[in-house]
Every structure is written in structure tokens, then in C-alpha cells.
Amino acid sequence: MIRTLAVLIAMATSSLPAADAARVILLGTGTPIPDPCCSGPAVAVVANNLAYLFDAGPGVVRRAEAAAEKFGIAALDATRLTRLFFTHLHSDHTLGLADLILTPWILERPTPLTLYGPRGLRAMSDHLVAAYADDIRVRTTGGEPKHQYDPRLVTVHEIEPGAIYRDDRVTVTAFAVSHGAWEQAFGYRFQTPDRTIVISGDTGPASHIEDQCRRCDVLVHEVYSDAGFAKRPPEWQAYHARYHTSARQLGAIAARAQPKLLVLYHQLIWSSTEEELLKEVRSTYDGKVESAHDLEVF
Ligand SMILES: [Zn+2]
Ligand SMILES: [Zn+2]
């Protein structure tokens, strides 16, 4: 009885989702810096046995396979990766797109990929498919067993802010964020009956993320270390301040947004440390916060 009560209390206070609720899996927490710890930015949300990917940094397909194996999540098998939402078209977030178009196709994925994202995504997808014309020709006519479809068939939706995707249990809403010179950059709000998850993408501090979160279950947000920033050359400081969000700024945003859990990703730490980064966030925020690593689930 006491144990049951303890379990119930633990369940009530834990920010971990119930077994069948939407789960956030950090496939890649990296940045353009090719640190071997961290695959390129890519977040998977798994709900109702379906995978919804947000961004495709380098390594995305292998990390999805690793997560499928580590957590026993069949929806992250490469052949089941069919929906992808791009926050913006910076290379660190898109270098895995050719991989997602071609690798699951070779593995006999039954349906082509569907993409959502900013203007320019259609051209990027078309150019990638064109760049691999010889590979596709040799694979389709050179003796490989017959494939399920023509890999040049990629469905692309160039979106505007608003509810851009719906199925039985899921609504995905895109919202505009401010990311330096990018004309279009999006964050996403992912809603199921059980959970609301907000993903910032890359953003400066003035994107009103708190209006999208409002006590959401999980806020996955990019961040850079204030201490690391202080030691960067002035020209890079000007760039980072325009494109990204400092730890102290993020703490203030989270204090307004009040997520049940704040998850840091795309951490630019430079010469500082993860402990220092968390301290900086906590200097302006007293809620629950985790600094994510690749292949962690929230
Ligand atoms: Zn980035
Ligand atoms: Zn970016």
C-alpha cells in the first residue's frame, strides 16, 4: 500500500510521460561544431506509434536507428521515418536531408518522405535529388531489387505560421521565430490530448516563445552560455547575440512560459561548461531544467 502510494506520488510529480503519451527523443543536440558527442540538431516526437521529426542534422538516420534500438521504439526505425518538419534551412539542421530521402528508400520504406518547412525547402529537396541522379539511376536500374517507389517523389509543403498538420491525435502548429537574417524560421507546438511540446528551433530571445508554451509540458529550447560568450571574439559575439538566446535570457523566457520541464538543446557552450550553463539558466529561472544529450527521452 505504502509502496503503491509512493509510486503514485512519483508518477504525479515526475515530468516523464505516461507510457502511451507523446515522448520527446533528442536524436541530435549539436550545432555546426562537429563535436563527436553530439549529432546534428534533430528532435523526434513519438506519439501513437508514429514518429514526427523536427530538423535533420547530420547523423539523423543513424541516431533514429540507435533510439529505436535503445528504447524499443519501432516508430523510429528508418523505414518508418516519413514526416519531417524543418525549423529553418541552416546547414546544421538540414545536412541529413539527403540521408532521410535516400537511406530509408534503399531499406524499402513503403512510402515517400513528406516535408514541411520554410520557403526554399522545395528547391533544396529538388537539388538534393538531382545531385544523387547517378546513385538513383544505378540503384533503380543496376540490379538492386525493385524499390517501393521513385525516390524523387518527395512531398514538400512550404508553410506559413499556423496549424500546418493534423491527424487523429496530433496537431502541429508552426510559429515564426526571429533568427537573424533568415526571412522564415519556425518553432513548433506539438499537441496531443496528453501533452503539449514546444520546440524553439534556432531563435533569438525576442520570439515570444512564452505565448506558445504557457505551462506546456516540455519546452525544448536552444541556448548559449553567457560565460562562454564573454570569451568569444567581438564579431562572433555580435552574430550570436543576433541569432541565438543566452542562458540568462532563456531563464527569463522560461520564467514567463512556465513549462513543466525546460530541455536545453543546441547548446553552444564554447570554453564554459554544462554545469555553468545550467547555473546561468537557474540564475533567472527556478523551474525544472535539463541539459539534453543525444539519445535522451523526455
Ligand atoms: Zn543551428
Ligand atoms: Zn540556425
Q: What DSSP state is assigned to residue 46?
A: E
DSSP strand pairing (171-176 vs 186-191): antiparallel
pLDDT in tens, 137-180: 999 999 999 999 999 999 999 999 999 999 999 999 999 999 99
CA 4 to CA 99: how far, in whole Å? 46
133 C-alpha to center of ligand 1: Å?
Answer: 28
Note residues around ion ligand 1 (Cβ under 5 angstroms).
Answer: 92, 202
Torsion from C-alpha of 296, 206, 213, 19, nearest 10 degrees: -10
State which H helix or E strand residue 220 sits in.
strand 218-224
pLDDT in tens, 33-66: 999 999 999 999 999 999 999 999 999 999 999 9
**Does the pLDDT at position 4 exceed 50?**
no
**Does the pLDDT at position 21 exceed 70?**
yes
16 C-alpha to center of ligand 1: Å?
Answer: 26
Our CA angle for 172, 77, 142, nearest 5°, is 115
Q: What confidence category does residue 16 fall into, taking pLDDT thresholds of 50, 70 and 90?
A: low
96 C-alpha to center of ligand 2: Å?
Answer: 15
**Does the pLDDT at position 184 exceed 80?**
yes
268 C-alpha to center of ligand 1: Å?
Answer: 10
Please tell me the predicted confidence (pLDDT) of residue 17. Answer: 66
Cα-only R_g, the chain: 19
- Reduced to 3 DSSP states, what percent helix, strand and coil does the chain have, rounded to the nearest 5? 35, 25, 40
Amino acid at 205: P
Q: Are 190 and 203 a contacting pair, CB within 8 Å?
A: no
CA 118 to CA 157: how far, in whole Å? 8
pLDDT in tens, 241-250: 999 999 999 9
44 C-alpha to center of ligand 2: Å?
Answer: 18
DSSP alpha helix (H) spans, 177-289? 209-213, 226-230, 234-243, 247-257, 274-282
72 C-alpha to center of ligand 2: Å?
Answer: 31
Over the chain, what is the mean pLDDT? 94
CA 43 to CA 36: how far, in whole Å? 18
Give whole-number Cα distances, 147 to 65, 103, 151, in Å.
21, 12, 9
**Does the pLDDT at position 216 exceed 70?**
yes
CA 154 to CA 41: how far, in whole Å? 21
Amino acid at 252: A
CA 25 to CA 5: how far, in whole Å? 29
